[in-house]
Amino acid sequence: MNSEQLSSRLQSVSDFIIQYGPNPIRLADIGTDHAYLPSFLVQQDKIEFAIAGDVVKGPYESAVKEVQSQGLSKQISVRLGDGLEVIHSEDNINTISICGMGGTLIRNIIESGSAHLPKEHLLVLQPNIGEAGLREWLSENQYEIIDETVIIDGRHDYDVMVVEKGTTNIPLSYEEKLFGPANLAKQTDEFYLKWERDLAHRERIYEQIKQADQPNHEKLTELEQAITAIKEVLNRDAN
């Protein structure tokens, strides 16, 4: 991967930014690492300006190197800082991407940096794990998931979600948190593949826990609930 050829995961994030971002798009990519995403979008002439932020010196320096070597320093400001603190009001940021981290970290970044959030903003989020917990938190904080997709890259699968700030909480059902409301509506081939794999994984863990000397019954109940829901979505016999 580089800033001319993104991974399928970041390509999907980029497609969503282009599809849903306001005109002109002014992006903050938080946890940017090599700044591939903002560099790609500027090179494609799809965004006006970007902040490429990272809290760790190594990734920050990689981003500086990438942006300089591609001659993009006018359009991309690379900043070292924690989460959203790299965003200032005069940047007029309207779109924020936070990708390639756990759902809890993404949620913490949004929560702890809320003072830096522009009044109107689009979020494009790509949690590597913990997407159900992230959806729950979003739904309890006036955020609405307006689009989503599942990306399969080899053995890995990734959720990408587009989120808008509203004025009221939008409660999600257990199934909507687990699968994603927009994913449920679309049910793509990638969605089915992700959940076929996930079901096999959960069933393996369920059997392992059941065979333990002192099975964790709370965990077993949790797994049973998820396994039943997944079988239903896959149209499998839930019994």
Ligand X SMILES: C[S@@+](CC[C@H](N)C(=O)[O-])C[C@H]1O[C@@H](n2cnc3c(N)ncnc32)[C@H](O)[C@@H]1O
Q: Which residue from 93, 99, 110, 145 is in contact with ligand X, where contact means CB under 6 A?
A: 99
- Note whether 101 binds ligand X by CB under 6 A: yes
Q: Which residue from 21, 100, 103, 118 is in contact with ligand X, where contact means CB under 6 A?
A: 100
CB of 152 to ligand X, least distance (A): 16
CB of 175 to ligand X, least distance (A): 27
131-170: which residues touch ligand X (CB under 6 A)?
none
CA–CA distance, 170 with 166 (Å, rounded to integer)? 9
Residue with smaller CB distance to ligand X, 127 or 180: 127
CA–CA distance, 26 with 76 (Å, rounded to integer)? 10
| Omega prior to 24 cis, within 30 of 0 | yes
- Note whether 198 binds ligand X by CB under 6 A: no
Q: Which residue from 3, 14, 32, 70 is in contact with ligand X, where contact means CB under 6 A?
A: 32
Size of the site for ligand X (CB under 6 A): 17
- Note whether 130 binds ligand X by CB under 6 A: no
CB of 37 to ligand X, least distance (A): 7
Can you read off the two tokens belonging to residue 200?
């096999």
CB of 13 to ligand X, least distance (A): 7
Residue with smaller CB distance to ligand X, 31 or 181: 31
Q: What is the 3-state secondary structure (H, E, C) of 68-97?
A: HHCCCCCCEEEEECCHHHHCCHHHCCCEEE
Which residues have CB under 8 Å from 238's CB, separation 6+? 228, 231, 232
Element (H, E) at 186: helix 181-186
Angle at which helices 36-43 and 57-69 pack, to 10 degrees? 20
Residue with smaller CB distance to ligand X, 123 or 227: 123
Which residues have CB under 8 Å from 13's CB, separation 6+? 37, 97, 99, 124, 126, 160
CA–CA distance, 139 with 117 (Å, rounded to integer)? 17
48-87: which residues touch ligand X (CB under 6 A)?
53-56, 59, 82-83
Question: Do residues 199 and 179 lie in contact, with contact meaning Cβ atoms separated by under 8 Å?
Answer: no
CB of 83 to ligand X, least distance (A): 4
CB of 130 to ligand X, least distance (A): 14
Give residues in contact with ligand X (CB under 6 A). Answer: 10, 30-33, 53-56, 59, 82-83, 99-101, 105, 109
